[in-house]
Structure 1
Amino acid sequence: MIARQKGFSLLELLVAFTVMAIGLTVVLQAISGGLRNTAIASDYTQALQIAERRLTLAEAEQPVPEGERSGRAGERFRWTERVTPVDWNGDYSDEQAQFRLWRIDVRVSWGDGSERDVRLTSLRVERNT
C-alpha cells in the first residue's frame, strides 16, 4: 500500500492565501470608502451650519447691509455673503413702494485640493422709509 500524505499541498496554500488576500482587499477598500464619505458628510454639515449662521446674521441686521462681505470660519472654511436689492415693484418707483425686497446669497467653501461649497439664498422684506 501507498501511504497518503496528510495536510495541504503548496499549491492549495497559495490559492487559499490569494483568495483571502483578494477578499481582505475588498473589505479594506469598503471601510476606507465609508470613512472618506463620513468625513465629507461632516464637512458639508459644518459648512451648512456656517452658512445658516451667516444668513441669520444678515437677515437680522437693520438696515439691510447692501454689498458683499467675506471672511473665514476657522482654518478651513471661507464664506462670502452678497446682499442685493430685488426689483419687484412693477410700476412703482422705489420712493412710492412701501417695501423693498433683498436677496441674500451666502456661499461657504473649503477644500483640500478639490474645491467644495455650500450655497444658501434667502429673501428679506424691509419697510421702505
Structure 2
Amino acid sequence: MSPERRQCGFSLLEVIVALAVLGICVTVILQIMSAVTTAARVTDDYAQALSIAETRMALLVAQDNPIGMDTGKAGDLFRWNSQVSEYQPAMDNPLFNNSGFTDPENIYRAYHYQVTVSWGGYRKRQLELSTVRLGVAP
C-alpha cells in the first residue's frame, strides 16, 4: 500500500475504548438521577409529615387543654401520635426559677403539646413538633 491510500476510520481498539467510556458515563448519570429522585421523594414525605403534624397541633391547641394521648393514621403511609400533659420544667432549666411557673390565683397552667408523625417501612422516619403554652386550669 502506498502512503497516499491510507484507510480512514476507527480501529477496533478505539471503538471498544469509546464504548467503555460511554458505559461509565451512562452509569454515573443514572446513579445521579436515582439519588435526586430519592432525595425529592424523601423531601416530599417530610413536607407531608410536617403538614399533618401542624394540622394535628392546630387541632390540639384549638381545644381547651385536652390532656391525654391520641393516635391515628393519615393515608396509608403516615401514623401520628399526639400528647398533651401538664408541663413540668427540668430542675436545671435556666429559664425557670426553683418554683417553676407561678400563678398566685392558680388560674393558669403550662401545658406541653407534642405531635409525632412517623412513616416508612425499611427506613423508618419521624418528625416531631412540640410546644408549651398557657391554658386555663381545669
Alignment of 1:30-41 (within 5 A): 30-41=32-43
Within a 5 Å distance, the mapping from 1:67-82 to structure 2 comes to 67-82=68-83
Q: Secondary structure at the match of 2:76?
A: coil
SS at match of 1:70: strand
CA distance in 1, matches of 2:73, 2:9: 66
* In structure 1, distance between residues paired with 2:41 and 2:56: 23
* Deviation of the 1:112 alpha carbon: 2.5
Normalised to the residue count of structure 1, the TM-score between the two structures is 0.89
Counterpart for residue 113 of structure 1: 122
* Counterpart check, 1:26 vs 2:28: yes
Moved more, 84-93 or 10-19: 84-93
Q: Which residue of 1 aligns with 2:52?
A: 50
Deviations 1:50-91 (A, max 9, x none): 0000000001102x1111110001110000001110136928
| TM-score, normalised with respect to structure 2 | 0.84
Q: CA deviation at 1:104?
A: 0.6
Q: Considering only aligned residues, what root-mean-square deviation do their CA atoms show, in Å?
A: 2.2
The runs of 5 or more residues in structure 1 that have no matched partner are none
Gaps of 5+ in 2: 90-97
Is residue 6 of structure 1 aligned with residue 21 of structure 2?
no
Matches within 5 A, 1:90-129: 90=99, 96-128=105-137
Structure 1 vs Structure 2: percent identity of aligned residues? 38
Runs of 4+ residues deviating >4 angstroms: 91-96
CA–CA distance in structure 2, aligned partners of residues 91 and 4 of structure 1: 95
